[in-house]
Structure 1
Amino acid sequence: MSVLPRIEAFASDLTRIRQDFHAHPELGFEETRTAGIVAGLLRDYGVDEVHEGIGGTGVVGLIRGQGGGNRRVGLRADMDALPITETSGVAYASTNPGRMHACGHDGHTTMLLGAARYLAETRGFDGTVVLIFQPAEEGLGGARRMIADGLFERFPCDEIYGMHNDPNGKPGVVTVTPGPAMAGASFFDITVKGTGSHAAMPHQSQDPIHIGTALVQQLQGIASRNCPPTKPLVVSVTTFNAGSAYNVVPDSATITGTIRYFHQDVIEMAEGRMKALCAGMAQAHGIEIEVKLRNVFDVLLNDPDLSQAYIEAAGEIVGAGATLTSDQMTGSEDFADMLQIVPGAYCRVGHAGMVPLHNPGFVLDDAILPVGASVYARMIERRLPVA
C-alpha cells in the first residue's frame, strides 16, 4: 500500500471530517449542513471556484492545474444518508433520529475532499479538475437533478470517475468492472382497490389482502419463468401495507418494490408482464388494480479503456489488490446517469468489516479515507499529465 504521503499526513483530519458527517446525516435534497461544510472546506483548501445549489444542494468545485491544458476531468461523490435508525454503537453515531450514513456516503464525500485538498496544494496536473458533490443518490434522482440544472453545460468534463466503499473485509482491494457493471432499476407502486367489510363476513368484501398476496406470488415468477436464464433480472416486493384493525377487512392494499436489470428488452418484458398480471388479477376479481412504474437508475456502463486506466492508477496506490473483474452487481447507482453523458468509470474500494451496506449496524473503516483520496488524486495526475 502506497498512500500518497501528503494525504497520509492529513489522514486524521479526514477521519474527523467523516465522523462529523456521520454524526449529522441528512437525507436526499436536505444536505444543507453537509453541503455547507463541503463548500467551506473547498474554499479553505484554495479551490479556484466553488459553486453551490447545483441541482438543489449539490456543490461543484474547480481546480486548475499547471500549464494551459484545456482538458477537464470530473470526480464525483454522493452526500446523502438513508432513513435508517443506527445501531452500530460507535461513539460518533447518528444524532438525527431515523437517519444514518449506512451506505458510506460520508466516506465518499470525505475521500473527494481529501483529493481536493491534495490537488489544490500540489497542482501537479495540466488541465482542470471538476469536483462534483452530488445530493440524493439513494433513489431520489440527485444525478438527474444536477444534470437538468446544467451540470455538464456549466462544468463540461471529458472524463468522469466515481467510487464506492466495499465492506468485504479486504482492505486494499480496488475493483472495476468494464462495460455493464451495475444494474438499472425501476421502482413500482401497486394499489389493490378492493371492497372492505366486517371481518366476520368476508364474503361481503373483495379482500385486497387475499388478492394482493396472490399477486405477489405471481410477480415473483416473472424472473424465473419469463426471463432467459442468461439475462439477469431481479423482481423484489419490499413492502405490503393493508388494514388497521383486527375485525375489518380493508378496502385497499399497497405493494411496492424494485426491478433490477441489465438489458432493455428485459426491463420492457418485466414491466409489461407486471402490468398484464395486475390487469388479469383485477379482471378475475372484478376490482381495480393501479400500477405505477418509474425508472430510477440507468445501467451503469464503465468505459473499457477508462476502466483500465482507472485500475492502473489504483494499482499505484494499492498494488496487486487493484484488479479488473467481470462480476456485475445487481445493486444500482445513479452515477450511471452521468456516465450516459460523459465517459468514465466507477470503482469499488474494499475495507475492513463485514456488516453489509444499508444495514443499521454498518461501520465504515476510516482507514479507507486516505486510500480513496489517493486513488482519485493519482487518477488526475495520470489523466492530466504535466508536459
Structure 2
Amino acid sequence: MKGLSYQNGVLFFGSKYIGWASVKNNKPVSEVLPFNSASMLKIALNVFKAMPAWYKTIFFIWAAAVLVPPVFHSYEVTAFPELPFYTFIYFLLGTHFIFPKQLKMFHGAEHKVFSFKGVKKRRNIYRIKKANITNRYCSTNIVVMYFLTVLIFTPFFYLWYSIEQAAAIVSYSAVVFVPILHRIIQRKKMSIFRKPILGVSYAVQRRITCSHPERIHLLTAVEAYRALAEKEFPYLLKEKPKKKKEEKKMAIIDITVVPVGTESTSMSEDVAEIQKVLEMHSEKIDFQLTSMSTIVEGDLKDLFPIVQELHEIPFNRGAKRVTTNIRLDDRRDTGHESMKGKVNSVENKMN
C-alpha cells in the first residue's frame, strides 16, 4: 500500500483499488476507485484543480518557457528565451519544499496513519495523532536524493562537458536511477547508505513537507485508508486477539461529572470533553456513553487516575464547584465479566 496527499485529501493505492477521501462541507467523504488509467486521470485532474492559483500560474508559465521557444526557434524566431526541459523537472520536484499549508497537514496525516501500528479507526484518532510524522518510504526521500545527486555529480561531469550539458546529463539520468537506488537502499544490508539519506529526508519531512495535522486531516486519512483496506486488505482492520496471559481483573465504574453553579443547564460540552479524554486512554480501557452517565471498564490502578482527570474537566472550563458521582463494580469471585457480557447475560434470560 502506498499513499499520496494533496491540497484537499488523501489517497491510498493498492494493487487493484484506490482509496480516496477528500473534505467536502468540512467532512471527510471517501470512495473506492479501480486502479486503472481512467481513475488516475480523474485523480490527476482533481489534484491539479485543488492546487492554489499561484502554483498553477507558475506551472503554465514554466511549461510555456520550456515548450514554446523551441517551436518559434524552428521558424527562426529567436525573441523568446528558452529554458531547458530539465528545469521543469526541478520545478515539479522542488514544489515539495513549498507545499501549501493544507497539503502539509494532509501529508502529515498520511504519514501518521502509516506509522500507527494499531487498527486505523476513528476511535484511535488521538493515538494516531501521536504517531511518528516521518515515513521511511515517502516521496520526499526520492526528491532529496534527486537534488543531492544533481548537486554532487554535475560538477563532476563539468570536467568533461559544458555546465549546461553536465546538468542535463545528470538531471535526466537521475530521473531513472534515483527511484531504483531508493528501492535498493531500503534493504536491511544497505543501512550504512540509508541512514544518512533518511536523516536528511526526515529533517525535511518534519520541518518543510509535513505539518502536524488537525482532526479533520486525520479523519480524512483514516477514511481513505479504510476505504481501500475494506476492499483489498480487510485483515488490516481486524483487532488482534489478546493473549490470555495479558488478561487482568477488570472493574466497571459508572461516572457522572456535574459542574455546579454554571449559567448554562447544558452539560454536552463537558460530556464531549470527557469522551475525548477517555479516547486518549482507549488503549487501557473500554467505555460507553449513556444518556445519564458514562460507563468505564478497566484495571483499578488505571481507573482512579482517569476519574481524577475527568473530575478536573469542568474546573478547566471555568466551573467553581464540581460534583462527581461514582459507582464501582469490582467482582473477584468469578471470571471477569465485561460490560457487554453483563448486558448479554440479562438479554439471554429474557429470551
Which of the five TM-score ranges fits, normalised by the shorter chain?
under 0.3
* TM-score, normalised relative to structure 1: 0.22
- TM-score with structure 2 length normalisation? 0.23
**Which structure has more strand as a fraction of its residues?**
1
Of structures 1 and 2, the one with the larger relative CO (CA 8 A, separation 6+) is 1
